[in-house]
Structures are given as structure tokens and as C-alpha cells.
């Protein structure tokens, strides 16, 4: 890492090591179709954050809100339990500022300097994350200049970008992946299991699938149960980093 105004920033080491690899959970394929899951919104509620860290298998990737108090402590705890972690980048949604993801929201109309300073704050909030994901951002995603600048910063810093599926046509960053499904748009056990089963079918058809969800108690419980039966159904649970691809590779 290198010093930043608000904390150390991720950087590519002189020996070529990058955060996207150094902080990723190691993974070895066993040849089975693989499913990866990201559970997000962590760090704001201590009870739900602790439940996700302790209840979910280590191969489930956890993503954290940059505004959370004690963020580094939570990330360290998650990594000590074996989870790889991500930071959530607040991006301008439709209806902003009535629909407001916070003071460091990346804006579609923002200047390069504004985007750079906000990203320095966000990326400097903690260390130990292999990648970032979007929080909201359907408006920001329409800005070519904004997205290109955002992805360029991540590429320079060796950080992966995994989006929730809404930005899948955008290449860039140091490594990329896009979720195939949001698993908990309907927050009932039956609906979530239905989405997880759809991910399973996708993985069996394509070889792999990536899902993302929020740390609602119902989501954490459904994911904990569902993942415990994966092996018996002929699948392999993988960390989300195992789904990423290097651009141009």
C-alpha cells in the first residue's frame, strides 16, 4: 500500500503482486461446476455483520460499507475467519440526491479530480480487500467518462471490480466479473432459495455462476443452509475472486 490522505491506498508492489491476488482467498478447482456468492451491506449493523462472518462458509465473499465505523476491525475479523472481502463503492443512482448513497458518492457528472479524491477516500478506508463492488449506481453506469476513470483507477491500483450484474458490459479494472443474479430482491426464504437454485442450474450449464445479496438475516440463513448441501449436489463453492478475469487475457 502507499500513503493516502485518509489511509493507505492499494498499490501494485514492486515485485508485481497486486491486491486482487494477494488478498483473494486461495482456490483450487475440483473440476465441478462452481458457484460463488457475495453477501454485502456489512459493517453497519454489528449483529448482522457478526452473523455473516461466523455463519457463512469461508468461501462466501463478504462486502463492506465504506462508511462503517470500525471498518478495519470488521475486515480483519472476516479475513481471520477465512473470508475474502470487498469494499462497496457508492455510485449515483437514478433519483439522486433524494436517493442518496452518502457523501462520497461517485457522480455521473463529476470531474476527474472529484472522482479521484472520492476514490482516494473510499479506497483508503481500510486494507485487506481484493476488490470493490458497486452500491447502487445505475445513473453513474451511463457515464462513459465516469466509468472509464473509475475502472482506470482500479487498474492502476491492482484492484478487482465485481458488479451486481448492472454493469456487465463494462470491461476494465485489474480484473472483472459481473453477478448473474441478485438472490434476495424478494426477501423470503422460498424466493431466495429459488434464486440460489437458478444459480445452480446456470453453473451446471455454463460451468460457473456468481450471485450477490444483502446481509439480511433471511439471506444469511438461506445461504448458510444452501451452501452446506452444495457438495452433495455436485457443485463446488468458490470465492468470488475465482470468477474474475483479467482484461485482455
- The series of mean pLDDT values per 10 residues for the chain, 249 residues long, is 79 94 97 98 98 99 98 99 99 96 96 96 98 97 96 96 92 93 98 98 98 98 98 98 80
* Angle at alpha carbon of residue 211, lines to 17 and 100, rounded to 5°: 85
* Residue 64 CB partners (closer than 8 Å, separation 6+): 40, 42, 43, 71, 74, 75, 78, 85, 86, 87, 88, 126, 129
pLDDT at 249: 43
Q: Which residues pair with 203 in a beta bridge?
A: none
Look at the block and give the residue holding cell 470488521: 74
pLDDT at 5: 67
Q: Are the CB atoms for 175 and 158 separated by under 8 Å?
A: no
**Domains defined along the chain, listed by start:** 19-243 (3.20.20.370)
Average pLDDT, the chain: 96
Q: Which residues pair with 135 in a beta bridge?
A: 90
Question: Which pLDDT tens digit goes with each residue over 124-150?
Answer: 999 999 999 999 999 999 999 999 999
CA-to-CA separations, 216 to 49, 60, 63, 199, 212, in angstroms, rounded: 10, 15, 13, 19, 12
Question: Which pLDDT tens digit goes with each residue over 144-172?
Answer: 999 999 999 999 999 999 999 999 888 88
Residue 86 DSSP symbol: E
* 238: nearest Cα among 209, 218, 213, 215: 209
* Angle at alpha carbon of residue 56, lines to 50 and 58, rounded to 5°: 105
What is the value of pTM for the model shown? 0.96
Q: Are the CB atoms for 38 and 210 separated by under 8 Å?
A: yes
pLDDT at 192: 99
Element (DSSP H or E) covering residue 162: strand 160-163
Amino acid at each position: 500500500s502507499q500513503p493516502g490522505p485518509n489511509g493507505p491506498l492499494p498499490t501494485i508492489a514492486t515485485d508485481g503482486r497486486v491486491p486482487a491476488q494477494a488478498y483473494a482467498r486461495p482456490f483450487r478447482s475440483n473440476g465441478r461446476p462452481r458457484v460463488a456468492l457475495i453477501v454485502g451491506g456489512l459493517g453497519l449493523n454489528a449483529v448482522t455483520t457478526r452473523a455473516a462472518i461466523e455463519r457463512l462458509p469461508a468461501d462466501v465473499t463478504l462486502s463492506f460499507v465504506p462508511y462503517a465505523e470500525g471498518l478495519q476491525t470488521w475486515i480483519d475479523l472476516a479475513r481471520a475467519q477465512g473470508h475474502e472481502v470487498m469494499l462497496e463503492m457508492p455510485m449515483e443512482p437514478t433519483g439522486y440526491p433524494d436517493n442518496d448513497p452518502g457523501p462520497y458518492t461517485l457522480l455521473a457528472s463529476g470531474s476527474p479530480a472529484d472522482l479521484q479524491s472520492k476514490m482516494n477516500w473510499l479506497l483508503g478506508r481500510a486494507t485487506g480487500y481484493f476488490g470493490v463492488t458497486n452500491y447502487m449506481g445505475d445513473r453513474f453506469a451511463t457515464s462513459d467518462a465516469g466509468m472509464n476513470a473509475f475502472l482506470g483507477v482500479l487498474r492502476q491500483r491492482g484492484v478487482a471490480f465485481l458488479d451486481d450484474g448492472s454493469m456487465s458490459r463494462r470491461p476494465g479494472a485489474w480484473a472483472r466479473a459481473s453477478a448473474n443474479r441478485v438472490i434476495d430482491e424478494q426477501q423470503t426464504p422460498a424466493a431466495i432459495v429459488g434464486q440460489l437454485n437458478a444459480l445452480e442450474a446456470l453453473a451446471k450449464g455454463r460451468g460457473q455462476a456468481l450471485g450477490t445479496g444483502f446481509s439480511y438475516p433471511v439471506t444469511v440463513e438461506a445461504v448458510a443452509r444452501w451452501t452446506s448441501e452444495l457438495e452433495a449436489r455436485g457443485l463446488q463453492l468458490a470465492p468470488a475472486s475465482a470468477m474474475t478475469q483479467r482484461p485482455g487475457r
